[in-house]
Structure 1
Amino acid sequence: WRERMDSKRRQNWSRISAVYTRILQLRGPGSSADELERALRAVDDEMAQTHVTLTKYSQVVRKQLATERRQTAQRDQQAARLGIGSSGH
């Protein structure tokens, strides 16, 4: 029973952190309450437009974030091989 609850807790944390990361991405450079509210609305709009549950949305977001990380790592590796700094970081 405890293992099952721990697994659920990890799954929920993973979902929450993925959506939170997406909100931060949409928020942009500003950290005002207005910017955060706009980002929250944008996430809500994304979910509504795709007609998905929070669980499915978080899966899509996690996949998107992993792809972005992988692409950034590949760019950094290519830049290192060419002996130049990473652009934009």
Structure 2
Amino acid sequence: MSNDVKQQSNPFSTGGGGVNFETRVQAAFALSLLTKSCVPCLSQDMRAKELKFQNKYDGVNTDDFVLVATDKASNESQLLLRLSMKSL
């Protein structure tokens, strides 16, 4: 028997599950921007100020998205997200 057995992909990966997952996560952060509600993964005081997609051109080492948020004291935070389905 040959050691060159073809690797099988799971139905989630080949059926567009990764794209659907990425779109839903990005939508959750976009909603926090549009509704001026708290930002997932940051403190309750932070509000989204800017959401940038595909940022490799901007010198950020992620191509998924960057969220810029500020609190009432104008402290700014950046949340850099790289979504990966490798662990699923």
Q: TM-score, normalised by structure 2?
A: 0.34
| Higher-helix-fraction structure | 1
Structure having the larger proportion of residues in strand: 2
Q: Relative contact order (C-alpha < 8 Å, sep 6+): which is higher? A: 1
